Amino acid sequence: MRQWNVPAKLMCRQHLLGEHREGHMIASSLMNHQRNVVGYVRHNLMEPLSLFKRHNELVREMKKRGYKHHTPLKFNQKKLNYLDKEIREGKINKKIALKDLISRCIRCKKLYNKYRRKS
């Protein structure tokens, strides 16, 4: 499970929809205390408190591209108090995540280069 937390416009279809799907899996795991997320947070893969905001960002980009969305996120960050504060408030290093994403996916790298040239 992974959150990239890079600008959604820089993600190819596969990564955009994949992060959306995994966001639902992460939320379900967190709400049901099913998975220890410590490793995910410490390895720059998850940011628990940004889950709802990130979902909305992904959905906006999906709709912008003409994709359908029928899955509201069932998530209440107030229920994360069982996590240690360090883990609950963990942050993804977005520069590292972006570098990792564009090194793995040629389609995401093309989008990155396209938007980089525009700015």
pLDDT (tens digit per residue) in 66-96: 999 999 998 998 899 999 999 999 999 999 9
Residue 54 belongs to some domain of the structure: yes
Residue 69 belongs to some domain of the structure: yes
Residue 21 belongs to some domain of the structure: yes
Residue 110 belongs to some domain of the structure: yes
* Lowest mean pLDDT segment, chosen from 34-48, 51-65, 102-116: 34-48
pTM: 0.92
High-pLDDT (> 70) share of the chain, %: 99
Give the structural domain span for 21.
8-118
Residue 98 belongs to some domain of the structure: yes
Tokens encoding 11: 């993600």
Residue 1 belongs to some domain of the structure: no
Residue 3 belongs to some domain of the structure: no
Count of the separate structural domains present in the chain: 1
* CB contact set of 111 (below 8 Å; sequence gap of 6+): 9, 10, 11, 12
